[in-house]
């Protein structure tokens, strides 16, 4: 049974201990006493809060005073635990997000992280030169932290603050022509040729490519199997190896069997698994004229301007659609689950627009109807004396009431004569 009490404090005038300040409550949860301030000096209001908290204990919904002491670091621990339990592959990016969020929200209580603080954080990141997309990924990470905390039993936070997201107008639309792909692949070192070839022909994500092992490839049947835990959508996929893709993978397999027999990874460098191609990629792009580093005065540093590996994913979608592959099949190969993303990757360029204009012209050429008379011919017939006399005769016969009809026949009679 709960109880109400007030803490005693020393009276400076009388020197006696007197009750003062807000009412406190004592109640039990699983035999453990909980002491909690009601933050009110109104005894009736304090009693109401005590009854509410005791009711939550009885229903198993008690939040307790802990959520008031939850800090940002507790939220971080929760999301890290979630990533570890579910074996999520984007833990590297998670640490990047946490790094930026920690600079601003370090040691803050969760209940103190309000929309105002979040907007201040956004402004700070924008001043640092962060793109809207980067800020949105960080805000999504923060929102995930709160969702995990509020789903916890008992809850670690009382509510999820409103986290406004920014508009993103930096959607990339780059793609590769086949000649550009061949030039870039030729400029890359041997260990990088395999991942770019796989991505170019299949549209797989680079993370999926780097996770591939030789045990997932059946060269006899020409198949490559992607396990559910290795895909972003957690859906297994099968890729058939043909043509140039098969030849590149077969040659690389023979080389790996000779030099790195104990390495299980398809994409590796000297037996060590690859995680990115940033350095070799940019060097190759500069060499073949597909990108360069430029000075960004707003950010105060050099930034990359040119092709990126993800352009291969857009290119693969575009090539499959133009090759006549059904959309459902193309989506099964690339691993897209939403139509909106698929449509965005189905790039249209100036060559496509020119081809469309050419086809439209050809259509009109086929469907064009040859008129029996042109405007010039019509004017010529109106000036002909025979036709003029015919029109005058019609006017006299029909009378003034038929002038409108006669006027129309001025344009139709020459056609009939023709």
DSSP assignment, residue 301? E
Residue 199 sits in the same domain as residue 86: no
Q: Answer yes or no: is 99 within a domain.
A: yes
Q: Which domain holds residue 398?
A: 375-417
Domain count across the chain: 4
Residue 186 sits in the same domain as residue 324: yes
Residue 92 sits in the same domain as residue 43: no
* Stated pTM of the model: 0.57
| Token reading at 250 | 């077969």
The whole-angstrom separation of Cα 312 and Cα 207 is 13
Q: Answer yes or no: is 107 within a domain.
A: yes
Q: Is the Cα torsion angle 275, 280, 282, 288 positive or negative in sign?
A: negative
Residue 186 sits in the same domain as residue 312: yes
The whole-angstrom separation of Cα 145 and Cα 393 is 93
Single residue among 345, 365, 397 that ends a domain in this structure = 345
Residue 104 sits in the same domain as residue 198: no
Instruction: Output the domain CATH number for residue 314.
Output: 1.10.443.10
Q: Answer yes or no: is 163 within a domain.
A: no
Q: What is the pLDDT along the chain (418 residues), one digit of tens a residue?
A: 688 888 888 888 887 888 888 999 888 877 788 888 888 999 999 899 888 888 877 776 666 656 667 899 999 999 999 998 987 767 788 999 999 999 999 999 998 999 999 999 999 999 888 888 889 999 999 999 999 998 887 778 878 999 999 987 655 667 888 999 999 999 999 999 999 999 999 888 888 899 899 999 999 999 998 877 777 767 788 888 889 999 999 999 999 999 999 999 999 999 999 988 999 999 999 999 999 988 877 667 788 889 999 888 888 888 887 787 777 787 777 777 766 666 666 555 566 667 777 777 777 677 654 444 454 554 555 555 555 454 444 445 455 444 444 444 444 444 333 4
DSSP 251-276: HHHHHHHHH-TT--BSSEETTEE---
Residue 295 sits in the same domain as residue 210: yes
Q: Answer yes or no: is 116 within a domain.
A: yes
Residue 208 sits in the same domain as residue 294: yes
Single residue among 115, 135, 151 that ends a domain in this structure = 151
Residue 270 sits in the same domain as residue 332: yes
CA-angle at 88, arms to 82 and 94, nearest 5°: 75
Residue 380 sits in the same domain as residue 256: no
Residue 9 sits in the same domain as residue 126: no
Residue 199 sits in the same domain as residue 99: no
Residue 131 sits in the same domain as residue 259: no
- Cite the beta strand spans of 192-283 per DSSP E: 217-218, 223-226, 237-240, 268-269, 272-273
The whole-angstrom separation of Cα 281 and Cα 273 is 16
């Amino acid at each position: 049974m709960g109880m109400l009490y007030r803490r005693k404090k020393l009276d400076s005038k009388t020197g006696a201990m007197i009750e003062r300040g807000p009412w406190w409550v004592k109640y039990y949860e699983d035999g453990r006493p909980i002491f909690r301030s009601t933050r009110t000096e109104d005894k009736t209001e304090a009693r109401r809060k005590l009854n509410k908290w005791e009711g939550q204990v009885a229903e198993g919904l008690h939040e307790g005073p802990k959520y008031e002491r939850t800090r940002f670091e507790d939220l971080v621990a929760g999301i890290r635990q979630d990533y570890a339990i579910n074996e999520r592959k984007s833990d590297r990016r998670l640490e990047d997000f946490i790094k930026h969020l920690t600079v601003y929200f370090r040691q803050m209580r969760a209940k103190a992280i309000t929309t105002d603080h979040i907007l201040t954080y956004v402004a700070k990141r924008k001043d640092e030169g962060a793109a809207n997309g980067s800020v949105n990924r960080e805000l999504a990470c923060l929102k995930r932290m709160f969702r995990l905390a509020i789903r916890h039993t008992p809850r670690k936070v009382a509510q999820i603050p409103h986290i406004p997201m920014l508009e993103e107008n930096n959607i990339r639309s780059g793609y590769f022509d086949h000649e550009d792909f061949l030039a870039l692949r030729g400029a890359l070192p041997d260990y990088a040729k395999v991942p770019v070839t796989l991505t170019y022909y299949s549209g797989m994500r680079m993370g999926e490519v780097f996770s591939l092992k030789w045990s997932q490839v059946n060269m006899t049947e020409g198949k490559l199997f992607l396990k559910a835990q290795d895909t972003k959508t957690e859906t297994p996929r099968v890729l058939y190896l043909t043509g140039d893709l098969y030849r590149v993978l077969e040659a690389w397999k023979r080389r790996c069997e000779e030099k790195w027999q104990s390495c299980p990874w398809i994409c590796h460098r000297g037996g060590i698994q690859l995680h990115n191609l940033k350095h070799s990629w940019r060097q190759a792009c500069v060499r073949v004229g597909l990108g360069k580093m430029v000075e960004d005065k707003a950010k105060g540093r050099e930034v990359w301007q040119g092709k990126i590996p993800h352009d291969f994913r857009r290119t693969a979608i575009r090539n499959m659609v133009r090759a006549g592959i059904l959309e459902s099949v193309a989506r099964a190969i690339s691993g897209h689950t939403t139509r909106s993303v698929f449509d965005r990757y189905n790039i249209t360029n100036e060559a496509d627009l020119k081809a469309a204009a050419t086809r439209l012209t050809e259509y009109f050429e086929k469907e064009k109807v040859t008129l029996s008379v042109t405007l010039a011919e019509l004017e010529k017939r109106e000036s002909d004396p025979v036709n003029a006399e015919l029109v005058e005769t019609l006017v006299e016969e029909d009378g003034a009431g038929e002038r409108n009809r006669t006027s129309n026949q001025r344009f139709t009679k020459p056609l009939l004569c023709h």
